[in-house]
Structure 1
Amino acid sequence: MKRIFATFGFLAIFVLAANTAFAQCSASDMADNCITQMSDGFNFVKSFPIDGEKGAKNKIEYSYVFAKGTEYAINICTTGEAPDGIIVSLYDSNRRQVTTNQANGKLFKGVVYNCNSTGIYYITFTFKDSNAFCGGSVLGFRR
């Protein structure tokens, strides 16, 4: 009888561990795959993983130096077609928001920004009604 309980206990732990492993966010893989979905005419600069740790993190921030006279595109990639509640916002060096993918109550898969001042820009990802709190992003440029 003890062997039966031990066997079932082992199987239950194995099944729970397998489910946990599959439920983890693969943000780095999504960021890498997002490179192929970059907007036409843009050159790849950098990819960013977006891992909200199942809702434990509400904000993820990266910084990058943007150059005046350059157009930048930031795309979001998730497991589906929609951005799954991921909001990308771009802030200038004074922390003023210059663009976001949220407009008129809708979320878009990315943003395009024409840079008019060279400096450090901050790319933030936040979550609103997200299911997975997981995705990837890619930054591209064109002159």
Structure 2
Amino acid sequence: MKKLIFFILSVFLISTSDASGQCNAENLSNDCIPKLASGFNFLKSYKIDGVNGSKDKVEYSYVFTKGTQYMINICAPAQPTDGIVVTLFDSNRNKVASSKINGQFISAIAFPCNATGIYYIQYTFDGSSKYCGGSALGFKR
């Protein structure tokens, strides 16, 4: 009986220790929402889970509207961005903005949209230790 209890406790402890090492992108994306700059209205949050480095990028798309300014921020467990880079591409896959400028990582980008259309929001990992984060998209007119 003691062996059975010991076995059950061991399995429980091992399973909970593995869970703590997993990416909690949901919480990180929720943490990003109030960090949008003043005047920006929240549109959507994004989970960034690189599955411990097995994914080299995470990509989403969103329709942006001409005449609107957008902001995309990044939240990571290791501050400020843990090597997560957000890059914005237009509908033709031309790069229009990036959070890595001259080798420096910034935690948010603002983009004034000049053409309505689909835009691709791509998150990549440049020296990331956790491959995990969250992001929020906001707008203002």
Same fold (TM over 0.5): yes
CA deviations over 1:20-64 (Å, ceiling 9, x no partner): 011111101211121111111101111001011111111111000
User: How far is the alpha carbon of 1:10 from its aligned partner?
Assistant: 4.3
CA deviations over 1:99-136 (Å, ceiling 9, x no partner): 00001111110111111111000000010111111110
> After TM superposition, where is structure 1 displaced by more than 2 Å over at least 4 residues in a row?
3-15
Q: Percent identity?
A: 47
2:77 and 2:130 in contact (8 A); partners too: no
Task: From 39, 42, 53, give the equivalent of 2:40.
Answer: 42
Q: Distance in 1 between matches of 2:33 and 2:53?
A: 25
CA-based RMSD: 1.5
User: TM-score scaled to structure 2, two decimals?
Assistant: 0.92
Matched with 2:84 is 86
Structure 2 stretches lacking a partner, 5+ long:
none
Q: Distance in 2 between matches of 1:5 and 1:127?
A: 44
For 1:86, give the aligned amino acid.
Answer: I
Query: How many aligned residue pairs are there?
Result: 141
User: How far is the alpha carbon of 1:81 from its aligned partner?
Assistant: 2.8
Q: Distance in 2 between matches of 1:51 and 1:89?
A: 16
Structure 1 stretches lacking a partner, 5+ long:
none
Matched with 2:112 is 114
Partner of 1:60, secondary structure, is strand
Equivalent runs, 1:1-143 vs 2, <5 Å: 9-143=7-141
